[in-house]
A and B are shown apart, each in its own frame.
Chain A
Amino acid sequence: MHRGRIVFCVFLMVVTASAIYLALEWPFKAKLFPLSVSIPLFILAGIQLLQLLVGKEEIIESAAVDLEFSSDVPPEIERRRVITAFSWIAGFILAVYLIGFPLTVPLFICFYLRFESGVGALPTIAATAITWAMFYGLFQKLVHLQFEQGAIQTWLGL
C-alpha cells in the first residue's frame, strides 16, 4: 500500500511535469491557466511524496470526505476480485468495439450472470431477453440513440 501511494504521487508528478512541458510551447493565453494550475500541483505532489518517503506511515493517513473501500476481505481475494471486475469492464468495452453495442448488451448480461454470478440457465435467458428488449425499445426505438457499428461488422461489410 505504501509503495502504491508513492507510485500514485510519482504518477501525479509525471502528469503535471508533462503538462508543464507541453504548455510551455503554447501562446500566452493558452498556457497561462494550465501552467498556473500544474506548477502548484507538481509542488504539492512533490511535498506529498517527500512526506511519504521520510514520514511515518501511521501519521500519513488523514480521513478524506469520500468513500472508503471495505477492508474485511483478505488481500489476496481482494486483488483477484478487483482484476476480475476490471477484466469484465474491459471485456465489455472490447466487445462494444468488436461487435457493437446492440449485440454486446445481451451477450454481456448472459455471460456475466451465467459465468460470474452462477445464475441458472433459464433465469439467465429470461433476464437477457428482458434486458435486450428494454435496451432495444428504450434506446433504439424511443430515444433513437445511434450506436456505432462493431469493427467486425464493418470488416465484413454488413
Chain B
Amino acid sequence: MFDAFIEGLFLVLQWKAFSLMLVGMGLGFCVGLLPGIGGAATLALMIPFVFKMQPAEAFAFLLGMHAVAATTGDITSVLFGVPGEAISAATVVDGYPMAKKGEAGRALGAALMSSLVGALIGALALALAIPIVRPLVLAFGSPELFMLAVIGISCITSLSGAGARGQIKGFSMGLFGLLVSTIGQERQSGSLRFDMGLMYLWEGLDFVPVLVGIFAIPEIIDLTVRGTSIAGERPAENLRSGVMEGIKDTFRHFWLVFRCSVVGVFVGILPGAGGGVAQWMAYAHAVQGAKDAADRERFGKGDVRGVLGPGAANNSKEGGELIPTVAFGVPGSGAMAILLSAFLIMGLSPGPDMLTKHLSITFSMVWTLVIANIIAVLLCLTILDQLAKVTTVRGGLIIPFVLLLVFVGSYTANGQITDLIVTLIFGVLSYFMVLFGWPRPPFVLGFVLGKVIETYFFISVARYGFTWLRQPMVVALIILMLLVIAYPYIQQQRQRAQGRANA
C-alpha cells in the first residue's frame, strides 16, 4: 500500500498531470468566485476534455478544479455577502459582518486557512478510510440517513436566538424552509405540490436563486442604505496583519476546525446529504461551542469561529465525498456523480478494483486534493491584500457589479428569467426576515434538507414499515438528536447555576 501511496504522488507530479491540475485550478478559481456557476456544472462542462487524458491526468484536472472552487467560493461570501457557491452560504453569516467591521483580511485569512486544514483532513480521511470504509457506508441505510438529516435539522436550536421566543422564531423558520422545499413534484406519488400552474416549479426551487436571494439581496440593501463602503467609516485594517490574524485564528481554534472538518468528512461520506448540509452543521457546531449567552450572541455579528467552522467543513467534505464514490461507485453529491462518469470514460470501474488494482490512481486523487489546496491557498494568500481592499471602495461603485454577479449567477440555475424573479422574491422575504429578527440560517437548513428528509423517510417506511425506529443505529442517532436539541438548554441551565454559585 505504501508503494501505491508514493506512486500516487509521482503520478500527480508528472509534468502533464501537474500542468493540467494547474489549468483546472485556474478554472476552479474563477468558477468559485462567480455565484451560481457551481463546481458541479463546471465539472460537467469539462468532462468532454478528459477523453484523451490518462486517468491520473484527468483526475488531477477535474479534482484540482473542484477542490479550488470550494475554497474560493468563500471569498465572495466574505467580501460581498454573496455566496460564490451554494455550499459557501454559511460563511456569509459571520464572514460578511467581519468585512463590515473592517476585518475582511482576517475573515479571508481564516476562511482560506481553515479550508486548507479541512481539505488536508478530508484527504487524510480518504487515505485512511480506503481499507475500512466498506462497513461504515454499508451500516447507513435510508433510516440512518433520514435520522442524520433530522439531526441536521435539530441544529436549528443552535442557530436560533436564545430563549423561548428565539427558539420559536428559529423553529418557525426551519419549518418554513422545509415547507418551501416541498414545492414541486412529489417523488413517491408524482403529485404536483404548490406549483401554481407553473412548469418552472415542477422540479422544485433550485438552491442557487433561493440562496443568492436570501443572502445577497439584504446585504446589498444594507450597503445601499448605509451609503458607505462595505467596511463603513472604520479605520482601514492593516490587511497583511489582518490576514495573518485570520491564519493564527485557525490554529487558536484548531480543535474547532478539526471537529468541523470531521463533520464535513462524515456528511460527505453519506450519499445525498450534500455540501450545504456539512457547512450548516459545522456552523451550528461552532455556535454550540459558545461559552455562554453573551459569547453565543457574537455569532452572526462577525465572529471568526463562524467562518472557521464552515470553511473547514466545506473542504473536508471533498475527501469524504470521494470515499463512497471511489469505493462503491455511490456518488455523495451531484459533483461526484459527474466525476463518476469520468471514471467510466477512463475505463475504470469504481469499487474493489480502485482499492486494489488501481490503488495508485486512488491515492493520486488524495494527493491532488492535498497539492491543489495547498497551492490554491498560498496563491490566494498572496492576493488577499488586494482582494480585501474591495471592502474599502464606496458601496455605490460596487453594488452594480455585485448585483450583476447575483443575477447572472441566479440565471445560470435554469437559464430562465423566472430564476431572477425567484431571487427577488426570496430577497424581499429575506429582507423582512432580517428586519423583524427572524433568523435566516434555520430557513436555509430546512430548505436544503427538506427533500433529503422526505425522500429517506418514505424509503424507510416503504422498506421497513416503522420497525426501523428500533434499529440500534437509528436509536443511537435519535439519542444524538435529542442531545443536539437539548444542548443549548443544558448549557443555559449550567450557566445559570454557575451564575448563582458565583453570586
Query: Is A64 a contact of B170 with CB atoms below 8 Å?
Result: yes
Query: Is A41 a contact of B172 with CB atoms below 8 Å?
Result: yes
Partner of A48, one of B160, B172, B457: B172
Query: Is B93 a contact of A66 with CB atoms below 8 Å?
Result: yes
Segment among B4-12, B269-277, B431-439 that sits at the interface with chain A: B431-439
**What CA separation (Å) do A139 and B36 show in the bound complex?**
12
B440 proximity list for chain A (CB < 8 A): 66-67
A-B pairs, 3 with minimum CB distance: A117-B396, A64-B439, A30-B191
Known pairs A44-B168, A44-B175, A70-B222; A23 contacts B403 (CB<8 A): no
8 contacts between A and B (CB under 8 A): A8-B438, A33-B453, A34-B193, A40-B171, A65-B161, A89-B217, A92-B407, A145-B411
Write out, one digit per residue, whether chain A residues 3-16 have a CB within 8 A of any chain B CB (1) or not (0): 01100100010011
Query: Is B161 a contact of A63 with CB atoms below 8 Å?
Result: yes
Query: Is A44 a contact of B172 with CB atoms below 8 Å?
Result: yes
Closest to A23 in B: B193
Known pairs A23-B193, A29-B458, A41-B179; A81 contacts B170 (CB<8 A): no
Known pairs A65-B161, A65-B300, A131-B401; A93 contacts B424 (CB<8 A): yes
Q: Distance in Å from the Cβ of A81 to the closest Cβ of chain B?
A: 5
Query: Is B435 a contact of A88 with CB atoms below 8 Å?
Result: no
Query: Is A29 a contact of B189 with CB atoms below 8 Å?
Result: yes
Answer whether residue A129 sits at the interface, using C-beta atoms and an 8 A cutoff.
no
B416 proximity list for chain A (CB < 8 A): 148
Segment among B121-129, B223-231, B313-321, B380-388 that sits at the interface with chain A: B223-231
Partner of B226, one of A70, A135, A143: A70
B394 proximity list for chain A (CB < 8 A): 117
A146 proximity list for chain B (CB < 8 A): 415
Closest to B159 in A: A65
The dominant DSSP class at the B interface is: helix
Answer whether residue B408 sits at the interface, using C-beta atoms and an 8 A cutoff.
yes
**What CA separation (Å) do A40 and B435 show in the bound complex?**
23
Q: Distance in Å from the Cβ of B441 to the closest Cβ of chain A?
A: 6
Answer whether residue B203 sits at the interface, using C-beta atoms and an 8 A cutoff.
no
B401 proximity list for chain A (CB < 8 A): 109, 131
Answer whether residue A154 sits at the interface, using C-beta atoms and an 8 A cutoff.
no
**What CA separation (Å) do A29 and B454 show in the bound complex?**
10
Partner of B417, one of A1, A72, A97: A97
Query: Is B178 a contact of A37 with CB atoms below 8 Å?
Result: yes
A119 proximity list for chain B (CB < 8 A): 396-397
**What CA separation (Å) do A69 and B437 show in the bound complex?**
10
Q: Distance in Å from the Cβ of A7 to the closest Cβ of chain B?
A: 9
Of residues 11 through 56 on chain A, the ones whose CB sits less than 8 Å from some CB of chain B are 12, 15-16, 19, 22-23, 26-27, 29-30, 33-34, 37-38, 40-41, 44-45, 47-48, 51
Answer whether residue A82 sits at the interface, using C-beta atoms and an 8 A cutoff.
yes
Partner of A143, one of B45, B165, B433: B45
A15 proximity list for chain B (CB < 8 A): 176, 179
Query: Is A62 a contact of B166 with CB atoms below 8 Å?
Result: yes
Partner of B193, one of A30, A88, A131: A30
Answer whether residue A61 sits at the interface, using C-beta atoms and an 8 A cutoff.
yes
Closest to B223 in A: A85
**What CA separation (Å) do A132 and B394 show in the bound complex?**
21
